[in-house]
Amino acid sequence: MTYLFFSYFKDLVGREVTVELKNDLAIRGTLHSVDQYLNIKLENTRVVDQDKYPHMLSVRNCFIRGSVVRYVQLPPDGVDIELLHDATRREARGG
């Protein structure tokens, strides 16, 4: 069990992300929190294709189960590649 991505997502809290689910629903919102299963809580959400998902109209905050997430689209400046490289190398060395 690695916590690399968990810590990475924790650093992204407060940023605007788009979460695309395995059922093709894409939701944009402010990342409120994330946990070990990469469950995600978003605030001020809006569905990217609102007309296709009318039932999501009044959903402002939501909890997304980690197991149904396909992609998380990140803000471009939210990726510190050097840091991720370092952490990944450390992980590969086993410590």
Partner 1 sequence: MITSYTRGRSETGEELKLQLYHLTKGGPRPLDMEFTGIGHQKLLVLLRDGRKLLGLLRSFDQFANVVLEGACERVIVGNLYCDIPLGLYVIRGENVVLIGELDLEKEELPSHMTAVPAAEIKRAQKAEREATDLKGSMRKRMEFLDFD
> Contact residues for partner 1 (CB under 8 A)?
3, 21, 23, 25, 27, 33-37, 39, 41, 45, 54-65, 67-68
> In whole angstroms, how close is the CB of 82 to partner 1 at the nearest point?
26
- The answer to whether residues 31 and 17 touch, using CB atoms and an 8 Å cutoff, is yes
> In whole angstroms, how close is the CB of 9 to partner 1 at the nearest point?
11
DSSP three-state, residue 94: coil
CB nearer to partner 1: give 21 or 87.
21
Ramachandran assignment for 42, one of left (phi > 0), alpha (psi -120 to 50 degrees), beta (any other)? beta
CB nearer to partner 1: give 65 or 85.
65
**DSSP-assigned beta bridge partners for residue 17:** 29
> In whole angstroms, how close is the CB of 44 to partner 1 at the nearest point?
10
Q: Tokens 């995600």 — which residue?
A: 40
